[in-house]
Structure 1
Amino acid sequence: MLTRVLVPLDDSPLATRALEHALDEWSDAEVVVLHVVDPLDAIYESEVGGPIEAERWYESEMEATEDLFDRARARAAETDVSLRTATAVGNPGREIVRYVAANDVDHVVLGSHGRRGLERLVLGSVAERVLRRAEATVTVVR
């Protein structure tokens, strides 16, 4: 029996589908929704608008994270699933793997963005990194 299922959540349709899958399949487990804030996005903001824009970006990102969590909580309230939320700052793939190792996660359910070819080679894939490095079973939802 699984006790803790991690669902990395961004605002993409595939991540939402991964949450739906986790809530449907593991109703007896604790589901943890993790949102990773990527600080590289703030660097882009500071290059365009200066440090003040980067600070505003971070505040906006935290507000968006809470909205994302509110939607996840509302969906989980329709079930009997115990849902927790967590936030990390850093490279999404690395932070997901780190969270798995530090929090006794049994299973990870995440959406695939379906990158192919050169884009996948250049950008890498969060799902691929988690598949290769996480010390838990991983389900990738398409």
Structure 2
Amino acid sequence: MSTHVLVPYDDSEFAHAALEYALNEYSAGAITVLYLIEPADGYGGTNTAVVTDDELENTTSGGDDDSVLVRARKRAIEQDRELSTAKATGDPPQAVHEYAAEHDIDHIIVGDRNGASQLFERPLADDVVRGSPVPVTVV
């Protein structure tokens, strides 16, 4: 039975490190990259959802989420690997937890923001570890 790994992804260097780790350490497992999108101002609230591309078209800020996922797929192809992708909107840690619980994820690999960024905001990795329904590796 192979392991299904989830990598929360936002195209940062930390997310890239998490994806690299997943590709290298889970060569026999399935990998899903979950692109986390914060809804545009005035939309939603604190609820989270995994949504389709059509639903996201009118609800998200930014417009380059597809290119982010394409870059993740290209990196996997460079290593002769396949990965699946998904998008979620709302509170990032909650979205990760919900996706993991609803999609039979066995393990989460998340990049850790360190240094000065921790002074201003709590890192996603901390919140994903707390309350995760599955084991988490912080890279």
Q: Which runs of 5+ in 1 are unaligned?
A: 45-54
Q: Number of matched residues?
A: 125
Query: Are the aligned partners of 1:5 and 1:108 in contact in 2 as well (CA < 8 Å)?
Result: yes
Deviation per residue, 1:70-92 (Å, 9 max, x gap): 11111111224330000011011
Q: What amino acid is aligned across from residue 126 of structure 1 in structure 2?
A: L
Residue in 2 that maps onto 1:90:
90
Q: CA RMSD of the aligned region, Å?
A: 2.5
Q: TM-score normalized by structure 1?
A: 0.77
Aligned to 1:68: 68
For 2:18, the equivalent position in structure 1 comes to: 18
> Where is the helix percentage greater, Structure 1 or Structure 2?
1
Q: What does the per-residue CA deviation read over 1:75-126, in whole Å, with 9 as the maximum and x for residues that have no partner?
A: 1112243300000110111100111111111111111112679846xx4332
Offset from partner CA, 1:30-77 (integer Å, 9 cap, x none): 1000011112xx228xxxxxxxxxx8883x63x411111111111111
Paired position in structure 2 for 1:7? 7
2:7/2:31 contact within 8 Å kept: yes
> Partners in 2 of 1:37 and 1:134 — Cα distance?
19
Q: Residues of 2 paired with 1:9 and 1:117: CA distance?
A: 17
Partner letter of residue 75 of structure 2? R
Q: Which of 109, 125, 128 does residue 127 from structure 1 map onto?
A: 125
Q: Equivalents in 1 of 2:5, 2:77: separation in Å?
A: 17
Q: Which moved more, 1:7-16 or 1:79-88?
A: 79-88
Q: TM-score, normalised by structure 2?
A: 0.78
8 Å CA contact 1:29–1:82 kept in 2: the answer is no
Bigger radius of gyration: 1
Letter in 2 for 1:103: H
User: What SS does the aligned partner of 2:130 have?
Assistant: helix
Identity of aligned residues (%): 39
Q: Distance in 2 between matches of 1:116 and 1:16?
A: 19
For 1:6, the aligned partner's letter is L
